[in-house]
Amino acid sequence: MIDLKYLREFPDVVRASQVARGEDPGLVDRLLEADEKRRAAIQSADTLRAEQKAFGKKIGQAAPEDRPALLEGSNELKAKVKEAEEAQKSAEATVNELQYAIANVIAGAPAGGEEDFEVLEHVGSPREFDFEVKDHLELGESLGIIDVARGAEVGGARFYYLVGDGAWLQLGMLMLAAQKAREAGFTVMIPPVLVRPEIMAGTGFLDAHDEEIYYLERDDLYLVGTSEVALAGYHRDEIIDLSEGPKLYAGWSSCFRREAGSYGKDTRGILRVHQFDKLEMFVYCQPEEAEEMHQKLLGLEREMLAAVEVPYRIIDVAAGDLGSSAARKFDTEAWVPSQGTYRELTSTSNCTTFQARRLGTRFRDADGKAQTAATLNGTLATTRWLVAILENGQREDGSVVVPEALRPWVGKDVLVPKRGKK
């Protein structure tokens, strides 16, 4: 939720942000106008309440014969107060609705849409193969570690089983991520995967992504698409202590996405699925610390990608491709040999005070005054990493070299095809 004080002081900045995102800058003027009406309504209601209070004292001090007339006037004033309070309530609802409609103000993100990102860095070089590469599904099936056929029979399209070494690859990857998070000072958590509507709305996921979310109408609950949602709600309506530094959490959970609008896109294998596991970092900090924390999260993602031995690039996501909560987002994209291109593995977003304002999460500054906290998030490992690990580690005979960092969990240096599988 945008800060009204900031909006009043820097309306042109917010308009420019809306334009960069490809969204309506006219919302800014509508909100400014609604805010003026709200403040006028509050003043009118306050004035009438003060009159009503003073009139009540006058009645108490009046002579008995004068009270009937005064009481009649009091009833008229009471009706005016009620009317003014209704007007105030309506004006506040309009402001709230418009506040929710305006996305976070971008902070350094390039303008444009999905294809207008800026490449910041390439890390590692794509491997040159002297044989015809297999994609991750062909490799996974021949190794006996991915079963999408039975996944589809049980859950439908875009579901799968990770079997044997495939399960250990994922568990090892997530355990390594959890260890790295703990060493970096994060508290590891296993959060709920079902959340209430106000928590989902508070994180910004109901603004433009509601079609992506599974909703359980009978229980009025949402399945999370990332543990960011539950972690953002952890300190809802609290004043947290940030005097000794940011609060760092890392949530390990299953995640669920409907993938609405992606029919026919990435249907093969496990790149775009309805259910996956993920370790998500989440930070609460003072606003002036947010940029530094954003780089810290990106640095931890770099460490994990180096550990799983895949070449990747870092991109600065364009404003029009940001979620409504993010002021800036960096994606890391791994090289996928079978596709001859880079595909997203992780992202890290600086949400500034946008989420915490909606969720009422504050801290006390050096003067003891309550201020809105900043929040950030970043993915440290997730299921789709297996795509890049398998394809970049493949050998001509169909075997796959296990990254050294994952071998303690997998228990093998090399995965070899099962007999009878090609």
Q: Which residues are annotated as a binding site?
A: 226-228, 257-259, 273-276, 280, 344-347, 377, 379
Residue 384 annotated in active site:
yes
Residue 196 annotated in active site:
no
Of 347, 357, 358, 391, the catalytic one is 347
- Containing 144, the helix (H) or strand (E) segment is none
Identity at 367, one-letter amino acid code: D
Cβ proximity of 155 and 274 under 8 Å: yes
Residue 289: count of CB within 10 angstroms of its CB: 18
First to last CA, the chain: 53
- The span from the CA of 150 to the CA of 166, in Å, is 15
Residue 272 annotated in active site:
yes
Dihedral sign of CA atoms 405, 410, 412, 416 in order: negative
Residue 257 annotated in active site:
yes
Largest CA distance in the chain: 107
As beta bridge partners, residue 171 has none
- The span from the CA of 284 to the CA of 277, in Å, is 23
Of 39, 236, 272, 343, the catalytic one is 272
Which residue positions form the known binding site for L-serine? 226-228, 257, 280, 377, 379
Tell me the two tokens of residue 412.
């093998």
Of 158, 357, 358, 384, the catalytic one is 384
H helical segments located in 213-331: 228-232, 290-307
Contacts of residue 322, defined as CB under 8 A and 6 or more positions apart, other chains included, come to 21, 103, 104, 106, 109, 328, 329, 349
Residue 21 annotated in active site:
no
Which residue positions form the known binding site for ATP? 257-259, 273-276, 344-347
Of 67, 212, 344, 399, the catalytic one is 344
Of 257, 328, 358, 362, the catalytic one is 257
Q: Which residues form the catalytic set?
A: 257, 272, 344, 347, 384
